[in-house]
Structure 1
Amino acid sequence: MGAQIIPIVMPKWGLEMREGTVQDWLVKEGRRIEVGEALVDVETDKISNAVEATDAGLLRRIVGQSGETLPVKALLGVLAESEVSDAEIEAYIAAYEVPAAGGDEGEAGPSFEYADVDGIRVRYARRGPEQGTPVLFIHGFGGDLNNWLFNLDAIAEKHPVIALDLPAHGQSQAKLPGASIAALAEFVLKFLRAAEVTGPAHLVGHSMGGAIAIQMAVSAPARVASLALVSPAGLDTAINSGYTDGFVQAQSRRELKPLLEQLFADPELVSRQMVDDMLKFKRMDGVEPLLAELGTALFGGGRQSAMLADELAALDKPMLVLWGNEDRVISSTQAANAPPHAKVIRFDATGHMAMLEKASEVNAALQRHLSGG
């Protein structure tokens, strides 16, 4: 057996990714690579992100070139020590075949499932092992389960994972169970029963989804094992209503793009496809008036209607709070209202979408939190 050749491949980010476009390599051939080092920027139809090294070694060959669109698991580069000959590397590259999509364990079967909850059809996804306490991911206002595309598979390595599209969001039905955090929390508790989660679940909530998670823990503490909150609503009254109102009212790419850019510290992360997908969602029959109703009820006049900081402080649950210091939707100063026993992590150069902008750090923090660390 000769010295090892290690492939660097196009990752699969999220449930729907089939291919990615190579943008810029961040390292050069001949460089020694450390685990976790950012190697190459890749753009998908959802967002751009850096591919990080899963192995250490010497970068001997860059295969995927800037501008190339390649399928998931295609060869991007090769790591090998200097004793491996160039001829061996060329032979390895020539012989490399992209594994068939869906060949992985756990990728068999449908990517999505559907449940009927109080007459509302809900799309959701399951990943990970069958045993263990499930982790439920709850997205924010105007989002969907794809907001967690960099997080679900990472957490599913050790835990059962469920992510849903809230009512009138994503591909769930355009109906609301009520335009309040309490009504949405009650709905998500019923969803868990419909998804056959009978014991407690770990909740991970973003923005509006954070307030829903807090309310679920307040209303039904026995159903909640822990809370992880990313830029959550519910800790103070202030919110950027220019974003929430503007998002509801935007009718064109020109109007929507600068609003979506407010979600990120780096506006370059807002791809054309992201804007187009959001417009397509907003134009779905019945969605826009429901978003307007929800936005007015929850965030009307630039004030959050659900104030949950006191209730949160009274909860005896493991608690993680993650916030971007450049959050332009809900200020990171509100992290000061988290309970004293909460673990609070603030990220520099990060906006409202820390789970996308700082996926590796968020995933590591979530894994520590879920393992009791």
Structure 2
Amino acid sequence: MTVAPPPADELTVAGRRVRCRIAGDGPPVVLLHGIGRTLDDFTAQHALLSRDHRVVSVDLPGHGGSAPLDPPHTLPALAAAVAQTLDAAGITGPAHLVGNSLGGAVAMRLAADDPTRAASLVLVNSAGFGREVTVALRLLALRPLGRLLLRPHPAIARRTERAIFHDPAYVTEERVAAALAVARQPHAARVMLELVGSLGTWRGVRPQWRQELLTAVAALDLPTLVVWGDRDLILPAGHLANARARLPKARSHLFQDTGHMPQIERAAAFHALVTQFWSRHAPG
């Protein structure tokens, strides 16, 4: 059930180490993971998509093997850092932006800030479509409770992985160990607390940035696909209805018996859905 991640690459971007994975030839695709996660959440899709695309998977700043930013970690700062990484990777034209969870919001922010970088958006259980979010993330906004909850511990790592997947078979020892290694990074707690504080409160996701971002994305009139897992415990599937209302021209799909990461639990079906979507919107 687990795809072993291949070795990752490393770029130096604005003097900062960035862990990434680049493979394939063809139209460019950018894969962006969620909060507290890494590019390894897209290992299966990276392998599938790189058969006929130039695929760039990135560890966001302060995540996985990428060094943290000097200024506070906010959504605009992450989007700007991704733009710099794409320049360093030679991706200067429009790319298909694919983002899971926080990565979806980063993709939308990147497209809104520089529309020339976006050929389309694929938003996977994306942040930005509702206030509701798992209590585990809301509690992080309460300091010092947040720091206590972010302490590296095998039980916490396992519980987090279990919340992400509907099928417990995906909660492997390898994934738990990887999550624990990420949590042990010296800057990991600071990055998480900065992001959580900028995006939400103990009540849920802040409405101000969501409203502004969705208004900007709707105005772009980009080809957009929004997908969700119906058993998502992190961002509830009810957000898909909000996405349809705010982005009425977007296509949407709900995966059955699937959690927060359809790109893993429904890898083959996800790949087929996304590539068919792109083929419909190819130039000409």
C-alpha contact 1:123 1:165 (8 A) present in aligned 2 = yes
Of 327, 341, 356, the residue aligned with 2:249 is: 341
In the alignment, is residue 287 of structure 1 matched against residue 183 of structure 2? no
1:286: Cα distance to partner?
Answer: 2.2
1:177: Cα distance to partner?
Answer: 4.8
C-alpha contact 1:239 1:302 (8 A) present in aligned 2 = no
Unaligned runs of 5+ in 2: 141-145
In the alignment, is residue 321 of structure 1 matched against residue 226 of structure 2? yes
1:322: Cα distance to partner?
Answer: 0.8
1:256: Cα distance to partner?
Answer: 2.5
The amino acid that maps onto 1:223 is: R
Higher helix share: 2
In the alignment, is residue 120 of structure 1 matched against residue 16 of structure 2? yes
- Distance 1:302-1:249 versus aligned 2 partners, 3 A rule: farther
1:296: Cα distance to partner?
Answer: 2.3
1:157: Cα distance to partner?
Answer: 1.1
Per-residue CA shift, 1:257-284, capped at 9, x if unaligned? 1222111112232112211221122112
C-alpha contact 2:72 2:194 (8 A) present in aligned 1 = no
Cα RMSD (Å): 2.1
Q: Write out aligned runs for 1:267-286 (5 A).
A: 267-286=168-187
Per-residue CA shift, 1:228-257, capped at 9, x if unaligned? 010000122221132463795243112321
- Distance (whole Å) between structure 1 residues aligned to residue 192 and residue 171 of structure 2: 21
Q: TM-score, normalised by structure 1?
A: 0.67
3-state DSSP class of the match of 1:327?
A: coil
- Distance 1:340-1:198 versus aligned 2 partners, 3 A rule: same
Of 301, 312, 326, the residue aligned with 2:217 is: 312
1:153 aligns to what? 47
Of 80, 84, 99, the residue aligned with 1:190 is: 84
1:319: Cα distance to partner?
Answer: 0.6
The amino acid that maps onto 2:20 is: Y
C-alpha contact 1:241 1:299 (8 A) present in aligned 2 = no
3-state DSSP class of the match of 2:205?
A: coil
Q: Write out aligned runs for 1:238-253 (5 A).
A: 238-243=132-137, 245=140, 249-253=150-154
- Distance 1:299-1:241 versus aligned 2 partners, 3 A rule: farther
The amino acid that maps onto 1:301 is: W
2:273 aligns to what? 365
- Distance (whole Å) between structure 2 residues aligned to residue 187 and residue 177 of structure 1: 11
3-state DSSP class of the match of 2:120?
A: strand
3-state DSSP class of the match of 1:235?
A: coil
- Distance (whole Å) between structure 2 residues aligned to residue 239 and residue 310 of structure 1: 21
- Distance (whole Å) between structure 2 residues aligned to residue 371 and residue 118 of structure 1: 35
3-state DSSP class of the match of 2:68?
A: coil
Which structure is higher in RCO with an 8 Å CA cutoff and minimum separation 6? 2
Of 115, 138, 141, the residue aligned with 2:32 is: 138
3-state DSSP class of the match of 2:84?
A: helix
Report the number of matched residues. 267
C-alpha contact 1:204 1:227 (8 A) present in aligned 2 = yes
- Distance (whole Å) between structure 2 residues aligned to residue 262 and residue 112 of structure 1: 26
3-state DSSP class of the match of 1:167?
A: coil
2:102 aligns to what? 208
- Distance (whole Å) between structure 1 residues aligned to residue 130 and residue 217 of structure 2: 12
- Distance 1:284-1:148 versus aligned 2 partners, 3 A rule: same
C-alpha contact 2:74 2:194 (8 A) present in aligned 1 = no
Unaligned runs of 5+ in 1: 1-10, 17-110
- Distance (whole Å) between structure 1 residues aligned to residue 8 and residue 152 of structure 2: 29
Higher strand share: 1
C-alpha contact 1:265 1:350 (8 A) present in aligned 2 = yes
Q: Which has the larger radius of gyration?
A: 1
The amino acid that maps onto 1:255 is: I
2:162 aligns to what? 261
- Distance (whole Å) between structure 2 residues aligned to residue 176 and residue 345 of structure 1: 38
3-state DSSP class of the match of 2:116?
A: helix
- The worse-fitting range, judged by mean Cα deviation, of 291-300 and 203-212 is 291-300
1:331: Cα distance to partner?
Answer: 1.0
Q: TM-score, normalised by structure 2?
A: 0.87
Per-residue CA shift, 1:272-302, capped at 9, x if unaligned? 2211221122112222222222222223324
1:354: Cα distance to partner?
Answer: 0.8
- Distance 1:357-1:254 versus aligned 2 partners, 3 A rule: same
- Distance 1:176-1:322 versus aligned 2 partners, 3 A rule: farther
3-state DSSP class of the match of 2:53?
A: coil
